Amino acid sequence: MFKWFREYKRRKILQKPFPDKWREIMRNRVPHYTYLDTAERSQLEQLVAIFIAEKNFEGCGGLTITDEISVVISAQACLLVLGLPPFQYLKQEFKS
């Protein structure tokens, strides 16, 4: 029923440029990132942007969630689906 709204929100997320700070974090903290070609990096960045926007990160025991923590966790999660056809939950084709 609200599928159109989720797709609308994801399109809005992807209209924003990927933050350079996040790209630098991925370059320094996600080893696989440097081995990806330009198209794969672009797709991973789009997946990460959507993942961060749609997920809530909470620290335990007083841990403060920083950009570095959320970007690294998101990138590692999104690497698992990188290059696969969009799943039901994505419903958004990524173009490089």
Phi then psi for 11, rounded to 5 degrees? Answer: -65, -40
* Count of C-beta atoms within a 10 Å radius of residue 75: 23
Whether the per-residue pLDDT at 10 is higher than 90: the answer is: no
Whether the per-residue pLDDT at 95 is higher than 60: the answer is: no
- In 3-state terms, the chain is what percent helix, strand and coil (to 5)? 60, 0, 40
**At 23, which amino acid appears?**
R
The model's pLDDT over 32-61, given as tens digits with 9 standing for 90+, comes to 999 999 999 999 999 999 999 999 999 999
pLDDT at 93: 54
Whether the per-residue pLDDT at 84 is higher than 60: the answer is: yes
The structural domains of the chain, with segments of one domain joined by +, span 3-79
